[in-house]
Amino acid sequence: MPVVVAGRSDLALPSLLLYLTAYTVTNLAAFAVTCALPQRRTLGSYRGLGTRRPLLIAALVVALLGFVGTPPTAVFVGKLTTATAAWDGGHPWLAIAVLLNSVLSLFYYLRWIAPAYGRGDPEGNGGPRAPRSASASSATAVVLATSTLVLGAGAGLGWDLLALR
């Protein structure tokens, strides 16, 4: 969207940079979770991990809800700013398309979150032991998920201050 309105809105470039940064951090958080759980290859294999690996699954939830564009994640601020740039640049239909896409993506991402907080562990007693590198991936996931929340709050505040000028 910001590319479409690049010549028509002063918000285009800042919103593009914010969105790309936010999406990158959020994407890395989600991938770090999957790296921490290499033996889990299906959505169903995440069943029950919310109670066994609460910080890791919380990081996954933050990343997935970030992709949807829920506050206070950085992707939310990124989507909001890119939609604002599209609206400002004379393409309100693009802003509406972002909103609709976010609502539709709830179905996809909730399919991953729901099993994680469901009952039971299909592999019993935790399944196979995770490799040692999984702990580094877990820490990375938690740090990146926290970063997307901090970046979201900071970018939202910064964007508000910019709008007040």
Q: What is the mean pLDDT of the chain?
A: 84
Vertex 62, ends 51 and 94: CA angle to 5°?
145
How much is the pTM? 0.81
Rounded to whole angstroms, how far apart are CA atoms 109 and 14?
27
Q: What confidence tens digit (pLDDT) does each residue in 21-49 have? A: 999 999 999 999 999 999 898 888 999 99
pLDDT given for residue 56 in this prediction: 94
Q: What confidence tens digit (pLDDT) does each residue in 59-78 have? A: 999 999 999 989 889 999 99
